[in-house]
Structure 1
Amino acid sequence: MIYKIVNVLMIIMLFVAFGSVASNQDSVLTVDEFVQKSYGDSLLEKYLKNSESSERLGDYQNALYYFDKYMVRKDSIYKSNAEQKLEEKYKIFEIEKKDGEINLLNVQSLLNEEKIDKQRTSIRLILSLALVFLVMIAIVFVFYMQKEIAYKKLVKLNMEAVRIERKNDLILKKSIQKRSIPSKLSEETEQKILNDLVVLMEEEKFYLQSGFTLDEMAVKLETNRQYLSKIINDHFKKNFNAFVNEFRIKEARRLLSDFKTSGYTIEAISNMVGFGSRTSFIAAFKKYTGVTPSYFVKNQKY
């Protein structure tokens, strides 16, 4: 009993010495709470000893009172420890979460940098290809323009040739020079065949007939194919087909430049000058003039 009185007096003295009012007026500490804050976990043992002492002395009311205090304090300590551990785990979880977020951001940053590098490489490649493509286009354009200028000059030259031919339809006849032929053909006979050939081609326009042969022309000129072929080769420096096609192309060029027949189709002009097909006409026309018939028609005003 004396031990109990001493403990109560000690608690009262501590309460008086340190005060029971907290800095916050809304929070007032009891004597037990003050003792718990002052003595910490050692109070748990005192509660248990007081309960056991009271029980031995037969003071069951105080024994029950201190035992109840002991259990409350024990639960409080357990709860406090549990809350502290939970708080520590939560802090660890938050730290790990932050570390995970930082690592994720680092990975995303690396991926973004890699993606940006790939995009830059792709852009450089595209720009390089575009530059090469533009250079190629520029080169092709330059060649095209040079070719176009050359073709237009050819058209101009052909138009000048047409104007000259219109002024003098017998220019070929007047330009023929006599040449000796080392054969049994006499000079007089040769000259007659040559004159008749010019008349046949220039005046009668025998070449307008489609598909005639060297033999047919020889019969027309009352000679043989060997003599006629030799005269064409020696005086005109061409074989029979090239000789005939030249007359046909000149006539086609004249027709294509004449406003009366300029509206005719290429195939119609081809038939008019004696060609058997449109394809052979276009090939012969380009070989002789340097341009196609359609290009010649489109660029006559150059």
Structure 2
Amino acid sequence: METWVIISLVVLFIIIIGLIVYYISKNNNKVSQGTILVPDVKSKIDIEESSSDLVENKLIEKVDFKSIPEEITKDTKVVSSLSISSKTENDLLKKLELFEKNKGFIKKDVNLATLSKQFETNTKYLSEIIKIHRQKPFNSYLNELRVYYIVNRIKNEPKYINTKVSYLASDCGFTSHSTFTTIFTQIMNESPSVFLKRIKEEQKRI
């Protein structure tokens, strides 16, 4: 009887030892599998990043940077940005000089559209030519020509000293007396009436 008890205990001990060994072995396998999975995950991330870079590179390759207009990629203040040939530029400048010499600016119907039509060009080209070569927008250019024209006449022709402001406005191309007064004041830093009074006093002292 005692022998069977001893044998049973030995068998039980062996079973317990076997279970312990099996449990430890199983845990070790899980740990070892985990260490293998880590590089697998990293590889997967690397593959995804590589794929993302590849897609991004393909998208960049599809963009044709040469097709982007030059005006968008850099500041342009030269006529060449409008594809005007040197001949066209020179022709427009000659017409502009003739316009100034003949005092075409005192006509009341002169504006960018009518002058462009007269010069046989478009408003965009003429506007840019004036901005570059006269260094001001068209309206400022036209207004200054008119004001300096009438200022010169007031200084050199005595009859203009006693002229009404409304007549001065009309004589230099303005259709509105108030507009003329405003623009004259902006350019000369004094109103037409004050300017006339000052010139009159200066001439009395001569």
Length-normalised TM-score, structure 2: 0.56
User: What fraction of aligned residue pairs are identical, expressed as a percent?
Assistant: 26
Letter in 2 for 1:243: Y
Letter in 2 for 1:294: S
Cα distance, 1:241 vs. partner? 0.9
1:109 aligns to what?
A: none
Of 111, 134, 154, which aligns to 1:236?
134
CA distance in 1, matches of 2:167, 2:126: 30
CA distance in 1, matches of 2:79, 2:123: 18
Of 219, 224, 227, which aligns to 2:122?
224
Larger radius of gyration: 1
1:215 aligns to what?
A: 113
CA distance in 1, matches of 2:130, 2:181: 24
The 5 Å alignment of 1:44-55 reads: none
SS in 2 for 1:223: coil
1:250 aligns to what?
A: 148
CA distance in 2, matches of 1:292, 1:261: 15
Letter in 1 for 2:164: T
Residues 270-293 of structure 1 show CA distances to partners (whole Å, capped at 9, x for unaligned) of: 001010111110111111111111
User: Residue 246 of structure 1 contacts residue 288 of structure 1 at CA under 8 Å; is this kept in 2?
Assistant: yes
Unaligned runs of 5+ in 1: 1-178
Is 1:282 aligned with 2:181?
yes
RMSD: 1.6
SS in 1 for 2:162: coil
Residues 78-117 of structure 1 show CA distances to partners (whole Å, capped at 9, x for unaligned) of: xxxxxxxxxxxxxxxxxxxxxxxxxxxxxxxxxxxxxxxx
The 5 Å alignment of 1:161-200 reads: 181-200=80-99
1:262 aligns to what?
A: 161
Residues 202-235 of structure 1 show CA distances to partners (whole Å, capped at 9, x for unaligned) of: x221111113221110111111111101101111
Residues 141-185 of structure 1 show CA distances to partners (whole Å, capped at 9, x for unaligned) of: xxxxxxxxxxxxxxxxxxxxxxxxxxxxxxxxxxxxxx7533311
Residues 9-48 of structure 1 show CA distances to partners (whole Å, capped at 9, x for unaligned) of: xxxxxxxxxxxxxxxxxxxxxxxxxxxxxxxxxxxxxxxx
Cα distance, 1:192 vs. partner? 1.3
CA distance in 1, matches of 2:79, 2:176: 38
Is 1:291 aligned with 2:181?
no
SS in 2 for 1:181: helix
The 5 Å alignment of 1:1-302 reads: 181-201=80-100, 203-257=101-155, 258-300=157-199, 301=202
> Moved runs in structure 1, 4+ residues, more than 6 A?
none
CA distance in 1, matches of 2:186, 2:112: 22
User: Residue 130 of structure 2 contacts residue 138 of structure 2 at CA under 8 Å; is this kept in 1?
Assistant: yes
Unaligned runs of 5+ in 2: 1-77
CA distance in 2, matches of 1:270, 1:241: 16
1:96 aligns to what?
A: none
Residues 236-290 of structure 1 show CA distances to partners (whole Å, capped at 9, x for unaligned) of: 2211111100000001111222213222111001001010111110111111111
